[in-house]
């Protein structure tokens, strides 16, 4: 008998029919003799609807009250799923974050899980109940409700799997696994049977949008075996785990990210500390910077360019203007017509030919590279957004075609 944690997102429980579908999957797993903990998100658009209600009353309500409001969404879905499981003749009990023992810090709307008090979960499982847990939420040390922020339900599921030493944590989504590229765009895209945590982290960061990053980091830390699997198509998905023996395939996937903007500062004085001050300013505003390019310009000036997410572009520019050395003579350019295309694979670092294969594929397709960034397991290039799909296709063909 195994203990399996299953997580279902908002679209998987959007209406009565889908809730029944989830109940079917869960009870099928339970029938095979497994203990099952199910983590669910709020139904469909519930969270957006609640946010709209709040904005109408107060666009700047406290984050504590927003968390109080939003956490009601999962409360509805866990109760409905528990009732759906009961309607199939199986015992179920729903638990809110605080009932399931989720203890977090006090950063409302982006709380971190500190620990899970396992007693209640263990008691319910020992009575052979299917335990339905509200994802995305917990309580802080003062008994106030907190939420874990974007993708929080994935994190909730992995945290439970880690705490209970579950045999597997299945993340059900609307795709049937992790692909070497977006299968809607690249016809030769292949589904991966296995992938390492680090590779998955790069793919998640790079816009594969399958798994939330924090949940993968946590799975890696506690060595929780993840499976990305479809809630509509009952075939094996992709397993995310520490693979000791590398497979032959060097590159795991090719991704694009179009939610990126390039910001350039032109004509900065070429004196020490400029770059440091720019990037610590951005860090102080919680703006993540990705690819960075610094070039010495003419007349003892230099240019600095970097990428941020499109959401953060305006805030980044505003913050830069607060710096004393970014006067009116310094031009700040912002280009949102860019895309980041990346290849990811854990074996890459030992194969120096990867970069040249990628650049050749782009060159053969007349695609101009604006910026380059590399890490142990990925190579990213910034290109014009209009070339993004063509670039993914070409690079995928070169490595995985």
Interface contacts to a copy of itself, rule CB under 8 A: 16, 19-20, 50, 53-54, 56-58, 60-62, 64-66, 68-69, 71-72, 75-76, 78-80, 82-84, 86-87, 92-94, 96, 99, 120, 143-145
Contact 189, 252 (CB under 8 A): no
* CB closer to a copy of itself, 43 vs 180: 43
Contact 254, 399 (CB under 8 A): yes
**Local structure of 179: helix, strand or coil:** strand
Residue 33 φ then ψ, to 5°: 95, 5
Rounded to a whole number, what is the distance in angstroms from the first to the last CA of the chain? 41
* CB closer to a copy of itself, 130 vs 305: 130
| Inter-residue long-range contacts of 360-367, CB under 8 Å, 24+ positions, other chains counted | 360/398, 361/394, 361/395, 361/397, 361/398, 362/391, 362/394, 362/395, 364/394, 365/390, 365/391, 365/394, 367/391, 367/394
Q: How far is the CB of 67 from a copy of itself (least distance, A)?
A: 8
Q: How far is the CB of 83 from a copy of itself (least distance, A)?
A: 3
**Local structure of 122: helix, strand or coil:** helix
Q: How far is the CB of 185 from a copy of itself (least distance, A)?
A: 37
- Report the relative pairing of strands 338-344 and 253-257 from DSSP bridges: antiparallel
Q: How far is the CB of 62 from a copy of itself (least distance, A)?
A: 6
Q: How far is the CB of 61 from a copy of itself (least distance, A)?
A: 3
* CB closer to a copy of itself, 11 vs 99: 99
Residue 362 φ then ψ, to 5°: -70, -45
Q: How far is it, in rounded angstroms, from Cα 10 to Cα 139?
A: 21
* CB closer to a copy of itself, 145 vs 263: 145
* CB closer to a copy of itself, 127 vs 194: 127
Q: How far is the CB of 89 from a copy of itself (least distance, A)?
A: 11
**In angstroms, what CA-CA distances link 61 with 42, 69, 311, 383?**
21, 11, 21, 40
The dihedral built from the CA positions of residue 52, 57, 61 and 66, taken in this order, carries a sign that is negative
What is the separation of C-alpha 253 from the centre of its chain, rounded to a whole number of angstroms? 16
* CB closer to a copy of itself, 62 vs 188: 62
* CB closer to a copy of itself, 24 vs 310: 24
Q: How far is it, in rounded angstroms, from Cα 224 to Cα 217?
A: 10
* CB closer to a copy of itself, 71 vs 380: 71
Q: How far is the CB of 119 from a copy of itself (least distance, A)?
A: 10
Q: How far is the CB of 86 from a copy of itself (least distance, A)?
A: 6
Beta-carbon neighbour count of residue 186 at 10 Å? 21
């Amino acid at each position: 008998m195994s203990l399996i944690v299953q997580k279902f997102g908002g679209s998987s429980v959007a209406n009565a029919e889908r809730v029944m579908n989830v109940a079917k999957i869960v009870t099928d797993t339970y029938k095979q003799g497994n203990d099952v903990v199910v983590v669910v998100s709020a139904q469909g658009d519930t969270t957006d609807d609640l946010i709209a209600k709040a904005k109408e009353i107060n666009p700047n309500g406290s984050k504590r009250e927003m968390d109080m409001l939003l956490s009601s969404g999962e409360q509805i879905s866990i109760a409905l799923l528990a009732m759906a499981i009961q309607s199939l003749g199986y015992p179920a009990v729903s638990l809110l974050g605080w009932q399931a023992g989720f203890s977090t810090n006090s950063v409302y709307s982006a709380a971190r899980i500190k620990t899970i008090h396992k007693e209640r979960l263990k008691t319910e499982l020992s009575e052979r109940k299917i335990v339905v847990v509200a994802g995305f939420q917990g309580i802080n040390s003062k008994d106030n409700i907190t939420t874990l922020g974007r993708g929080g339900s994935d994190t909730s599921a992995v945290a439970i799997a880690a705490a209970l030493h579950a045999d597997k944590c299945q993340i059900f989504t609307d795709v049937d696994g992790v692909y070497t590229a977006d299968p809607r765009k690249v016809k030769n895209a292949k589904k991966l049977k296995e992938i390492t945590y680090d590779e998955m982290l790069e793919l998640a960061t790079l816009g594969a949008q399958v798994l939330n990053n924090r949940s993968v980091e946590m799975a890696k830390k506690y060595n929780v075996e993840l499976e990305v699997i479809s809630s509509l198509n009952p075939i094996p998905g992709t397993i995310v785990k520490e693979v000791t023996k590398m497979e032959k395939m060097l590159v795991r996937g090719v991704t694009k990210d179009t939610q990126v903007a390039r910001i350039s500062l032109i004509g900065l004085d070429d004196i020490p500390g400029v770059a440091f001050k720019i990037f610590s300013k951005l860090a102080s505003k919680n703006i993540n910077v990705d690819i960075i390019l610094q070039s010495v310009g003419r007349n003892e000036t230099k240019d600095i360019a970097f990428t941020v997410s499109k959401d953060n572009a305006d805030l980044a520019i505003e913050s830069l203007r607060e710096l004393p050395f970014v006067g009116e003579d310094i031009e700040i350019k912002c280009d949102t017509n860019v895309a980041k295309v990346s290849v990811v694979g854990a074996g890459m670092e030992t194969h120096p030919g990867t970069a040249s294969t990628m650049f050749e594929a782009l060159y053969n397709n007349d695609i101009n590279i604006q910026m380059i960034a590399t890490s142990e397991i990925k190579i990213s290039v910034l290109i014009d957004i209009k070339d993004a799909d063509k670039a993914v296709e070409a690079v995928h063909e070169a490595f995985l075609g």
